[in-house]
């Protein structure tokens, strides 16, 4: 197994779901991980769950919608650890089913603030650290979504922000070349978690029906994420999609 002694990662949205699982995966492989989320208590629970690896798990509660707070977060990482090797730009949110005319401007702006603006703030400050450190460079992995390719019904704000993440990934990958910064994106289908429990009861389909959708185990996401992490610095997985084998994605609708 590849180890990562003295390597530093920032994982956003680390208090639950995919962020928590991937942060624990990094800790198991020897990384030091800054756990970023809004709720300090939930981050402390992740530290406790890390067990023997807890000494390398650092809770850093931050509101990622506030640019000054994000700057302070990355300044603290630089001051405490001296460098940044990996950013998992994972934090995000979804909204209940709403057609375009049913979605308020406030909800639209809240989605953009969290899913897009927060991701950009983190990426930009990761660039700031990675291009200035020695040795220069690092890796940034953005959490896109299958909705970055094909939207679900009643999810226009989520789909729009996730399509924007794909543009963020492409542009940052291009701009990162000069500094040895590899930027890639993991697009994740239905995965078993507290957030997807309702999928077993039925998810809105393009034909207006409700149908259960299959989910994959979280371990498949962590394995895919760690495959991206463990690439040599000279290689980058620009986009990868991981989903349940029988998920209705290809040919959706």
As annotated, the active-site residues are 158
Closest CA to 55 of 82, 77, 32: 32
Report d(CA 117, CA 89) in Å as an integer: 11
Report d(CA 229, CA 131) in Å as an integer: 18
Q: What is the DSSP letter of 152?
A: P
Q: How many CA atoms lie within 13 A of 247 on its CB side?
A: 18
Report d(CA 122, CA 117) in Å as an integer: 9
Q: What is the DSSP letter of 151?
A: P
Handedness of CA 151, 157, 162, 164 (dihedral sign): positive
Q: Which helix (H) or strand (E) holds 182?
A: strand 181-188
Rg (CA), the chain: 18
Contact 141, 92 (CB under 8 A): no
């Amino acid at each position: 197994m590849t180890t990562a002694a003295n390597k530093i990662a920032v994982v956003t949205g680390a208090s639950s779901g995919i962020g928590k699982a991937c942060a624990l995966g990094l800790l198991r492989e020897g990384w030091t991980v800054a756990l970023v989320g809004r709720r300090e208590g939930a981050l402390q629970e992740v530290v406790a769950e890390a067990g023997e690896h807890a000494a390398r798990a650092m809770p850093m509660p931050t509101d990622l919608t506030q640019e000054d707070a994000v700057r302070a977060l990355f300044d603290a990482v630089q001051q405490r650890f001296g460098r940044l090797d990996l950013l998992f730009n994972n934090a995000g949110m979804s909204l209940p089913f709403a057609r375009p005319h049913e979605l308020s401007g406030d909800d639209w702006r809240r989605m953009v603030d969290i899913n897009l603006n927060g991701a950009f703030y983190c990426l930009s400050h990761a660039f700031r650290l990675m291009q200035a450190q020695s040795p220069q460079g690092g890796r940034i992995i953005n959490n896109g979504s299958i909705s970055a390719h094909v939207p679900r019904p009643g999810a226009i704000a989520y789909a729009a922000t996730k399509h924007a993440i794909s543009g963020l990934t492409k542009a940052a990958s291009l701009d990162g070349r000069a500094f040895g910064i590899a930027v890639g994106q993991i697009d994740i289908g239905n995965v078993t978690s507290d957030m997807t429990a309702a999928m077993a009861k039925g998810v809105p389909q393009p034909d207006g029906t409700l149908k259960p959708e299959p989910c994959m185990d979280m371990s498949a996401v962590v394995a895919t994420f760690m495959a991206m992490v463990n690439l040599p610095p000279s290689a980058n997985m620009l986009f990868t999609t991981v989903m349940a084998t029988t998920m209705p994605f290809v040919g959706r609708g």
